[in-house]
Amino acid sequence: MDTTTDTSQPPPTVDQPSPLTLPVVLVGVVLVAMSISGTAVALPNIGRDLDTSGAPLNWVVAGYNLAFAAMTLIAGSAADRIGRRRVFIVAALVFAAGFLATALSPSIIVMDIARIVSGAGGAGIMAAGGAILASSYDGAARNRAFALMGTMAGIGIAIGPTLSGLLIDTTGWRGGFTVFTVVSLLVALGATRARESRANVSGPVDWAGSALFVAALSLLMFALLEAPALGWLHPGALITGITGLAALVLFGVVQRRSPAPVLAPALVANRGFMGWSLATLTTSIGFLGVLVFLPTYLQAAAGLSPSAAGVAMLLLTAPVLVVPMVAVTLVNKGVSARLLITIALVLVVAGNLWLMALNADHAVTAVAAPLMMIGIGMGASFGITDGQAMALVPADAVGMAAGFLNTLRGAAEALVIAAFSASLVGLLAAKLGDTSRAAAVGAGRLTSGAEAEELNAFTWSWHLTQLGVGLLCLVLSVVVVTLIRGRAETSRSTA
């Protein structure tokens, strides 16, 4: 989530912002966060109505996250250059247009494109919204505004699955997306009352770096999502993946030579900063796969309705609302931030490994404790990683650092969705011996008369996927602890 402050002079205190400024930005933040966490609940219904499964269906969530991750830095730069209010209004209109197109989609291809449009709009809302708050408030008022922004993001993630499930049961998935459209239009209208502001930005825009980053992320995600259907050794999947990796390497080369890089090499070389950045990456990996794909299992295997599955997901998401402030309070009272993040990482690793106990007969009770562990770990990470990381970079690099953190988090979310889906469908295909049937089961559509076999295969693929996620989080956690070990504590000044 982009909450980058700007280094231009704050507005005179006599020029008070509109009373609508803060509420409008906060509602926009809630919408974006809810769309990240809540859409997954609708996937089984969308799959049935549009007769689709596998990668095309997973792009409904992955495409949104990809566009959000790829456009965050670009939207923030555009807001500084052409006006924060202007970019926010345009982004809200784009967000609304994407949701309206989603609600009216006659096919999965149209829906996937619409979701990408919504993701780009969401990135603009978050980036320009943070910039509007930074330029409209100063001192204690600014601190309160950003604290509320973080809190509302947590609320959106926490209630997204539950509210989406209730909307789907009440209005259908098309009605749910229509509700988002209407609220987004109201946000755009309210934003016209905000004060316009720009930063004194000079120097060229790193268009090459921005384009390479978007290309690398898009190609890697496409390769991961399409490989189970095409085959991992299929020339199309291999060429796409290799091209994505090459674009990523070229991005690094361009950043070293650019006079105004999107990501300064010195920032990546900052050991402590990268350690805290990898901490947020690790918790995102452990959180997002479960958030997106468990609702489908709960509906298909345990027979829960969309609303009941959404309520069950509160076990995972509710801690994200409460724990960040608890973690910040503990750090402010002198508790070691390194100790807290170590505990958070242990909880995320243990929770993901414990999810191997998932079963169709007692699905909710089997996952209750591990979901809460992962949610607590994610919440603690939300509360302390950004502040600790930002304290380790120079003052003239805080904007880039904040953008990097948000982009890294968004990119991790996008790639985790792709990788989790590829693993589930690939393992199901190996177990069932039929790629099309595996994709249907992964989307929650079981074959009449073969439910027992497919449920066993679904559960087995979940177990192995969770094992892989847990082990990956374990390895990354060891790297994080190694990188942040011995770094100076910055608890009181940065929390």
Lowest mean pLDDT among 13-22, 142-151, 329-338, 391-400: 391-400
Residue recorded with tokens 């209208």:
189
Lowest mean pLDDT among 215-229, 239-253, 285-299, 403-417: 403-417
Residue 29 pLDDT: 87
Higher-pLDDT residue of 390, 301:
301
Q: Which of 458, 298, 305 is CA-nearest to residue 363?
A: 298
- Burial 201-238, CB ≥16 within 10 A → b, else e: eeeeebebbbebbbbbbbbbbbbbbbbbbbeeeeeebe
Residue 489 pLDDT: 42
- What confidence category does residue 14 fall into, taking pLDDT thresholds of 50, 70 and 90? very low
Residue 347 pLDDT: 97
CB atoms within 10 A of CB 411: 23
Evaluate if residue 137 carries a pLDDT over 80: no
Tokens of 227: 């490989």
Phi, psi for residue 15 in degrees, rounded to 5: -90, 85
- What confidence category does residue 7 fall into, taking pLDDT thresholds of 50, 70 and 90? very low
Evaluate if residue 300 carries a pLDDT over 60: yes
CA distances, 435 to each of 113, 260, 366, 425 (Å): 24, 46, 29, 8
Evaluate if residue 2 carries a pLDDT over 60: no
Distance CA 488, CA 273 (A): 12
Which class does domain 13-194 fall in? mainly alpha
Return all residues near 29 (Cβ < 8 A) that are at least 6 apart: 1, 125, 126, 129, 149, 152, 153, 156
H or E element that contains 350: helix 337-354
- What confidence category does residue 392 fall into, taking pLDDT thresholds of 50, 70 and 90? confident
Higher-pLDDT residue of 400, 472:
472
Residue 53 pLDDT: 77
Summarize the confidence of residues 240-269 as an average pLDDT.
Answer: 81
Q: Which of 253, 247, 282, 283 is CA-nearest to residue 268?
A: 253
- What confidence category does residue 103 fall into, taking pLDDT thresholds of 50, 70 and 90? very high
Q: How far is CA 119 from the centre of its chain?
A: 10
Q: Encode pLDDT of 195-226 as tens digits.
A: 887 766 556 667 788 788 888 878 887 787 77
Evaluate if residue 488 carries a pLDDT over 80: no
Q: Encode pLDDT of 344-375 as tens digits.
A: 999 999 999 999 988 888 888 888 999 999 99
Domain ranges of the chain: 13-194, 207-261, 264-495
Residue 473 pLDDT: 94
Do residues 401 and 341 touch, judged by C-beta distance below 8 A?
Answer: no
Residue recorded with tokens 């922004």:
149
Distance CA 352, CA 371 (A): 8
Higher-pLDDT residue of 2, 222:
222
- Percent of the chain's residues with pLDDT above 90: 22
Distance CA 206, CA 440 (A): 42
Distance CA 131, CA 41 (A): 31
Distance CA 467, CA 452 (A): 23
Do residues 194 and 389 touch, judged by C-beta distance below 8 A?
Answer: no
Do residues 6 and 129 touch, judged by C-beta distance below 8 A?
Answer: no
Lowest mean pLDDT among 26-30, 31-35, 81-85, 463-467: 81-85
CATH topology for 264-495 is Growth Hormone; Chain: A; (1.20.1250)
Distance CA 389, CA 343 (A): 17
Do residues 37 and 156 touch, judged by C-beta distance below 8 A?
Answer: yes
- Percent of the chain's residues with pLDDT above 70: 87
